[in-house]
Each structure stands twice: as structure tokens, then as C-alpha cells.
Chains A and B, each alone.
Chain A
Amino acid sequence: DTAVSQTPKYLVTQMGNDKSIKCEQNLGHDTMYWYKQDSKKFLKIMFSYNNKELIINETVPNRFSPKSPDKAHLNLHINSLELGDSAVYFCASSQPSFSGYHYEQYFGPGTRLTVT
């Protein structure tokens, strides 16, 4: 069973379009994240959600809007796509232990977005 899944795995679209990437985790985790990996492989946090509530928004353009219908899902909507949005987008999840110590984040397989 896949722990963190993303759809689609590949997305090719034109500038100006609006697109969504879906993420689902079946680990029962409370916290979910979106990361962007650019063409130089650099990974950067975009958003984090804890129990459907937005916690972090790391200076991401407001064309990007995360939506969490329930704690198992965190979708990423991107409006008015630009060439610079081309990247691999990773969803991840984690769960704090009772003591508050977080362990590792579990990553989805990534979605390669190409904007032409």
C-alpha cells in the first residue's frame, strides 16, 4: 500500500493555465507539506498543514493555493502558470510523537510539472 501518493506524476501544460496536483496519505498523519524541487535539484518547503490548518506559507506567490479537505489530503492549486513554475513538486507527511518529537517526513513520488 502506497503511504503518500500524488496524482498526476507528470503534468505538461501551457502558460496561463490553472492546474491542480492531488496528494493523499494513508499513514494517519496530522501534518502534511508541499515542497518544490527546482531544476538544480534544490528542495524548498512551500506549505505545511497541521490538521487541515495552514501553518507555514514560505513566501510562495499567491497563485499557489493549498487546500486540505481532510487531514489525509492536501491538494495544490496553481493559477496562471508561468514558465518558472516548472519543477518537481513533492507532498510529504509526518506525525509528532506523544512527546512532541517529530520523526521523519514521508514523501510522495513527486509530480513533474512542465510549463511550456
Chain B
Amino acid sequence: AQTVTQSQPEMSVQEAETVTLSCTYDTSESDYYLFWYKQPPSRQMILVIRQEAYKQQNATENRFSVNFQKAAKSFSLKISDSQLGDAAMYFCAYRRHQVGGGADGLTFGKGTHLIIQP
């Protein structure tokens, strides 16, 4: 069974600085997807960024980028120019690829609580 590990329960960063959140995963699959979700105090789950395992290029969405190391099974999230609105729980998630679509749920890590210091 696949597992997702986030080793940092909490991280703190100064506003406008850069922070990196770590995520490692374990799977025997070769084709899968990885995601970072953000959960602010409102508790809404918001997709931040996704990465398809077959793509070598790291995904980027504005101030958010990932460092995807498939061989090392590592998927870290970098947030540049941190803003107060980035304060939230961040969850790393995994889903295997299924031919024909399938209906697997996401496997989540335990989350990292990100604090932004003004």
C-alpha cells in the first residue's frame, strides 16, 4: 500500500521569504499523480499544484513550485514571496494512475502547519 510522509508538523517563515515543505511517498506504481492541497482555517481543501509522475518537468503555479524527484520518491513544495494568506495546513497527496479512470481516493500525508510571521 502506498504511504505519504510529511516530516514537518509545523513550519514558520517570515513574510516575503521562501519556504519549502517536504513530502516523501512510497509506492510500487510507476504512473501516478502527486498533489499539494492547502487547508486554511475555513477548512476548505484547495488544490495548490499537481504533478504527473510521467512528466520530468517540475510543476509551477505562480509563487508555488515543486521539486519532484521520482527516484527518491520526494515531492517538496516551495512557496516564494510568502504572504499572510498562505498560512494554512498543507497536505501532500498521492493517487495512482488507473487505466480507464478508476475511482481511487487520495492518500494524504499528515500535513504541515505553515505559519507566516509578519
CB-CB contacts of A102-114 with B at 8 A, as 1s and 0s? 1111110110100
The A/B interface has a contact count, at CB < 8 Å, of 73
Interface residues in chain A, defined as those with a beta carbon under 8 Å from any beta carbon in chain B? 30-31, 33, 35, 40-45, 48-50, 55-56, 58, 88, 90, 92, 96, 100-107, 109-110, 112
Minimum-distance CB pairs A-B, first 4: A45-B105, A96-B101, A107-B45, A55-B103
Q: List 29 A-B contacts (CB under 8 A).
A: A31-B101, A41-B39, A41-B89, A42-B108, A42-B110, A42-B111, A43-B106, A45-B105, A45-B107, A48-B104, A48-B105, A49-B103, A56-B104, A56-B105, A58-B105, A88-B43, A96-B100, A96-B101, A100-B98, A100-B99, A102-B97, A102-B98, A102-B102, A103-B33, A104-B35, A104-B47, A107-B44, A109-B44, A112-B43
Interface residues in chain B, defined as those with a beta carbon under 8 Å from any beta carbon in chain A? 33, 35, 37, 39, 42-45, 47, 50, 52, 89, 91, 95, 97-108, 110-111
